A and B are shown apart, each in its own frame.
Chain A
Amino acid sequence: MKHIVYIYYIYIKQLSMVMQMNIILSNASNDPIYVQITQQIRSLILNGTLSSGEPLPSIRQLAKDLQISVITTKRAYEELEKEGLIDSVVGKGSFVTGINADFVREQRMKRLEQQMLAVIKEGKALRLSLVEIQQHIQLLYEEGDMDT
Chain B
Amino acid sequence: MNDIIKLNNVSKQYKLFSIEPLSCTFKQGYITGLIGPNGAGKTTLIKMIMGITRPGTGEITIFGQSQSLQEAEIKQQIGFVSDECHYYEHLSIQSMKNIIAPFYKKWDDNAFSRLLDRFELSPKMKIRSLSKGMKMKLGLAFALSHHADLLIMDEPTAGLDPVFRRELLDLLAEIMLDERKSIVFSTHITTDLDRIADYIAFLHHGRLVFNESKEQIQERYVLVKGPLSLLEAPSVNAVFIGVRESLVGFEGLTDRGHEIAAIVGTSAQLSRPTLEDIMYFTARGGKSHAAAIT
Contact = CB atoms under 8 A, between A and B. Distances in A.
Interface stretch (A3-11, A63-71, A104-112, A134-142): A63-71
B170 A67 contact: yes
Contacts of B199: 71
Dominant secondary structure of chain B at its interface with chain A = mixed
B196 A60 contact: no
Contacts, number: 47
Given A70-B30, A71-B213, A63 B272 contact: no
Interface residue SS majority, chain A: helix
Given A67-B169, A71-B213, A60 B179 contact: yes
B195 interface: yes
Contacts of B218: 32
Nearest to B271: A30
B179 A71 contact: no
B260 to A, nearest CB: 16
A77 interface: no
Given A61-B177, A67-B173, 15 more contacts: A30-B272, A32-B218, A60-B177, A60-B179, A63-B176, A64-B173, A64-B176, A67-B166, A67-B170, A67-B195, A69-B197, A69-B214, A71-B30, A71-B213, A75-B215
Interface of A: 30, 32, 34, 60-61, 63-64, 67-72, 75
22 contacts: A32-B215, A32-B218, A32-B272, A34-B215, A60-B176, A60-B177, A63-B173, A64-B170, A64-B173, A67-B169, A67-B170, A68-B196, A69-B31, A69-B196, A69-B198, A70-B29, A70-B30, A70-B198, A71-B30, A71-B199, A71-B214, A72-B215
For the complex of A and B, the 6 pairs showing the least CB-CB separation, nearest first, are A64-B173, A69-B198, A71-B198, A60-B177, A71-B213, A67-B195
